[in-house]
């Protein structure tokens, strides 16, 4: 059940969850947590005071309170002040654990909880492949310059196959969120998360770019979801991508490599070996990287 700043007294008292699980959301469902979890130093009226009251109510009800920062690596400072209120902290990036240890009590466990796929949405299914590349996500001209550099390189390499992007920021007006204007790039509006599986299953190749590129545990949620769908994924090289999924996707090292791959896929489609790779990838994710696995990890730790 979703906990909001308004319903939490009833949820905690009447439903009595085993765990209060809060993630580093920017808005939350129905926008109910917008400006109430992340830190906004320039806007003092935007605070986590309501969140702190929810955690305190959970503690009074003897319900373990868990915080998961899925934005770590890139946005540690935006969420650490909220995380410090909780009984247990999880992060996607193992590199941030020492940073948490510097600011939270030694009594608060801090562990890694990686991204995962939801099998009810992201699962393999045979479908006719469009010989075109896809990318589902955002493009930012003002932040994450390393990610943008990789995006620009791979997007330019897609000139021979064509690229359809589903712009997560299509509802935001500033130009700093706009994709490069290229004749081979077709930009579509944001789609619901449930529909991303259709995109991953139907395109011959799906592009992933990891924002955090120096971590052995942090990777884009997009990557594991593409693989869960039996989609063919290409990604920038990061320790996590290579360590966890290097056998199941194509890790690109250069624009020349990307261009050669896209040219072949546009001309010939997936090879037999690549089709076998996507089947093995979906099986690997189902056996190791679903939300059942992650929830079992949390439940085991919370008793």
- CA separation for the pair 15, 112 (Å, rounded): 28
- CA separation for the pair 71, 211 (Å, rounded): 10
- Helix/strand/coil percentages in the chain, nearest 5: 40, 15, 45
Each residue's pLDDT tens digit, 59-89: 999 999 999 999 999 899 999 999 999 999 9
Mean pLDDT for 6-20 is 95
Token pair 């979801």 in the structure block, residue: 225
- The pLDDT score that the predictor gives to residue 80 is 97
Beta strands of 53-151 (E only): which ranges? 65-69, 88-91, 110-112, 130-137
pLDDT-derived band at 44 (thresholds 50, 70, 90) equals: confident
**What letter does residue 123 receive in the DSSP assignment?**
-
- The pLDDT score that the predictor gives to residue 94 is 98
Closest CA to 257 of 107, 157, 183: 157
- CA separation for the pair 95, 174 (Å, rounded): 33
Q: What is the chain's mean pLDDT, rounded? A: 97
Each residue's pLDDT tens digit, 150-182: 999 999 999 999 999 999 999 999 999 999 999
DSSP run (H or E) holding 59: helix 49-60
Phi, psi of 106 (to 5 degrees): -65, -15
pLDDT-derived band at 116 (thresholds 50, 70, 90) equals: very high
**What letter does residue 62 receive in the DSSP assignment?**
T
Burial status of residue 180 (CB atoms within 10 A of its CB: 0-12, 13-18, 19 or more): middle
Each residue's pLDDT tens digit, 227-280: 999 999 999 999 999 999 999 999 999 999 999 999 999 999 999 999 999 999
Residue 9 has, within 13 A of its CA and on its CB side, a CA count of 3
- The pLDDT score that the predictor gives to residue 303 is 82
Domains of the chain and any CATH numbers: 8-113 (no CATH), 130-288 (3.40.50.2000)
Token pair 């769908």 in the structure block, residue: 229
- The pLDDT score that the predictor gives to residue 161 is 98
- The pLDDT score that the predictor gives to residue 1 is 84
- CA separation for the pair 259, 261 (Å, rounded): 5
Length of the chain: 303
Beta pairing partners, 203: 130
**Predicted TM-score (pTM) of this structure:** 0.95
Closest CA to 48 of 76, 8, 90, 81: 81
């Amino acid at each position: 059940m979703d906990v909001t700043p308004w319903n939490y007294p009833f949820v905690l008292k009447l439903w009595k969850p085993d765990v209060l699980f809060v993630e580093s959301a920017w808005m939350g469902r129905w926008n109910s947590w917008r400006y109430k979890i992340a830190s906004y130093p320039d806007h003092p009226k935007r605070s986590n005071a309501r969140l702190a009251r929810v955690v305190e109510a959970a503690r009074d009800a003897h319900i373990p309170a868990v915080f998961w920062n899925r934005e770590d690596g890139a946005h540690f400072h935006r969420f650490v002040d909220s995380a410090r209120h909780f009984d247990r902290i999880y992060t996607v990036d193992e590199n941030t654990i020492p940073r948490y240890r510097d600011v939270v009590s030694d009594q608060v466990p801090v562990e890694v909880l990686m991204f995962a796929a939801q099998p009810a949405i992201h699962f393999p299914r045979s479908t006719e492949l469009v010989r075109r590349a896809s990318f589902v996500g955002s493009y930012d001209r003002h932040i994450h310059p390393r990610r943008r550099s990789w995006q620009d390189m791979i997007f330019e390499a897609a000139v021979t196959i064509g690229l359809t992007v589903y712009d997560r920021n299509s509802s935001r007006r500033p130009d700093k969120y706009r994709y490069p204007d290229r004749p081979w790039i077709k930009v579509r509006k944001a789609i619901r998360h449930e529909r991303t599986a259709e995109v991953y299953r139907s395109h011959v190749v799906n592009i992933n770019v990891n924002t955090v590129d120096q971590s052995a545990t942090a990777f884009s949620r997009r990557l594991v979801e593409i693989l869960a769908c039996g989609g063919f994924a290409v990604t920038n090289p990061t320790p996590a991508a290579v360590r966890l999924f290097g056998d199941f996707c194509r890790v690109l090292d250069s624009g020349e490599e990307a261009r050669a791959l896209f040219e072949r896929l546009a001309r010939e489609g997936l090879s037999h070996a690549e089709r076998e790779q996507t089947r093995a990838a979906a099986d690997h994710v189902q056996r190791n990287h679903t939300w059942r696995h992650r929830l079992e990890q949390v439940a085991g730790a919370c008793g």
